[in-house]
Structure formats: structure tokens, C-alpha cells
């Protein structure tokens, strides 16, 4: 039976989580993923099984091997806003706005051109009070392939993305939630940097 996001409200109240993108810096999680609750996006299961998985693209945009990776994920939940994904632990949500108007809405999750941004909104709704970001580099390559610069890495686009994360940081801080960038090499400059070992001690 498909669940709804509202069923996960505050289930991790007061805990810490790492939101995982697919940038090269994710590779460090090979040594750390068992130490944290994690929310991964898209291809993260190629490296390890995240506690939770978030996918916002339609299944048809995934080649068959990638699609199977998501469908067969052993994560506790597959959060998605797209009908068509089939997983025993599917959890549906609705996309909100690009202006964080839905941050406190139980079913809507705000978005801004990338899946980790959505995953961060979900982390907040789940009650986490320390949120780390890793693999959200927007630099060169993904952790699983040397495929060149990220489509959002142009100066104009990355400025908008970084600014959006900065607004998210401010809104989270206003609600008593800390937000850190754990990637050593990341184009997201609007979130304070923290070493993963320091984050582990929080």
C-alpha cells in the first residue's frame, strides 16, 4: 500500500541526517554511510543503500538498469512525486513551489531544479534538526561516471541554485534546524562548510 509523506512527520525529531547527491564527494560515504541516517537521490544506491531514497523524475527518463536500481531499492522508503514508480516502500508527495511556500506543508515539498533540494525539504518534515549535505557539488563528473560538468554548473545557473540553498538555510535556521555543506569541493557556497567528522559529533 502506497503511503503519504505526512505519515513520516517528525519521526526523526531531534536527530541528524545526511542528504546525499550524486557528485564525486559522495565517495567519502563508502566509509561513513553506516554511521548516519541518510536520504539519497537517484543513483546513490550504486554506492550504498541509503536509509531513504528520493526520486523526482519519471521512470521513463531512467534507462532500464537505473530504473531497476530504484524499483529494487532496499531503502526504508522511496519518496516520489511521480506516479509510475513501483517499490514495496513507495511514499508519495506533491511538489510545492520554488519559493519555500510549502516548507511547513505536510504533503507538498518545495523544489528548485535538483533532487537534493527536495530531499532537504523532506528531511525537515521528518524532524531532523541537523542536516548535512554531501555529493551536491555541481562541479565535474558524478561519483559513478566521468561525464563532465553538471548541467547546472554554468555561472548563471549555479548562482541561482546556490542562492536557493541559502534561502533554505535561513528558513531552516529560523525553525531551529542547522544546515551544513559536508562536501569539500562544492559550488554551493551559501551553506556553511563542516567536516564530516565534526558533523558526526553533533
Domains and CATH numbers, the chain: 3-201 (3.90.1480)
Q: Exposed, middle or buried: residue 163 (CB in 10 Å: 0-12, 13-18, 19+)?
A: middle
Q: Which 8-state DSSP code applies to residue 8?
A: G
CA-to-CA distance for 167 and 148, rounded, in angstroms?
A: 28
**HSE, side-chain direction, 13 A CA sphere, residue 6:** 7
Q: Quick check: 77 pLDDT over 90?
A: yes
Sorted by sequence, the CB contacts under 8 Å of residue 153 that are 6+ apart come out as 138, 139, 140, 187
User: Which whole number is the average pLDDT over 170-198?
Assistant: 96
pLDDT at 80: 96
pTM: 0.94
pLDDT at 11: 98
CA-to-CA distance for 49 and 53, rounded, in angstroms?
A: 8
User: Which whole number is the average pLDDT over 38-58?
Assistant: 96
User: Which whole number is the average pLDDT over 135-142?
Assistant: 86
pLDDT at 59: 87
pLDDT at 199: 98
Q: Which 8-state DSSP code applies to residue 193?
A: B
Q: Quick check: 1 pLDDT over 90?
A: no
Q: What is the pLDDT of residues 149-177, one digit of tens each?
A: 666 555 567 888 999 999 999 999 999 99
Q: Quick check: 45 pLDDT over 60?
A: yes
Q: Which 8-state DSSP code applies to residue 114?
A: S
pLDDT band at 120 (very low <50, low <70, confident <90, very high): very high
Amino acid at each position: 500500500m502506497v503511503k503519504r509523506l505526512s505519515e513520516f512527520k517528525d519521526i526523526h525529531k531531534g536527530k541528524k541526517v545526511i542528504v546525499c547527491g550524486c557528485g564525486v564527494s559522495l565517495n567519502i560515504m563508502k566509509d561513513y554511510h553506516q554511521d548516519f541516517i541518510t536520504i539519497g537521490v537517484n543513483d546513490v544506491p550504486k554506492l550504498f543503500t541509503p536509509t531513504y531514497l528520493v526520486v523526482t523524475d519519471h521512470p521513463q527518463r531512467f534507462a532500464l538498469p537505473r530504473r531497476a536500481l530504484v524499483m529494487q531499492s532496499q531503502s526504508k522508503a522511496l519518496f516520489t512525486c511521480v506516479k509510475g514508480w513501483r517499490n514495496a516502500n513507495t511514499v508519495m508527495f506533491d511538489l510545492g513551489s520554488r519559493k519555500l511556500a510549502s516548507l511547513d506543508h505536510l504533503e507538498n515539498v518545495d523544489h528548485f531544479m535538483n533532487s537534493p533540494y527536495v530531499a532537504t525539504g523532506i528531511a525537515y518534515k521528518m524532524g531532523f534538526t541537523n542536516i548535512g549535505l554531501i555529493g551536491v557539488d555541481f562541479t565535474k563528473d558524478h561519483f559513478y561516471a566521468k561525464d563532465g560538468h553538471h548541467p547546472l554548473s554554468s555561472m548563471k545557473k549555479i548562482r541561482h541554485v546556490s542562492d536557493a540553498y541559502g534561502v533554505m538555510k535561513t528558513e531552516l535556521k529560523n525553525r531551529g534546524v542547522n544546515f551544513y555543506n559536508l562536501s569539500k569541493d562544492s559550488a554551493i557556497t551559501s551553506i556553511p562548510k563542516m567536516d564530516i567528522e565534526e558533523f558526526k559529533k553533533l
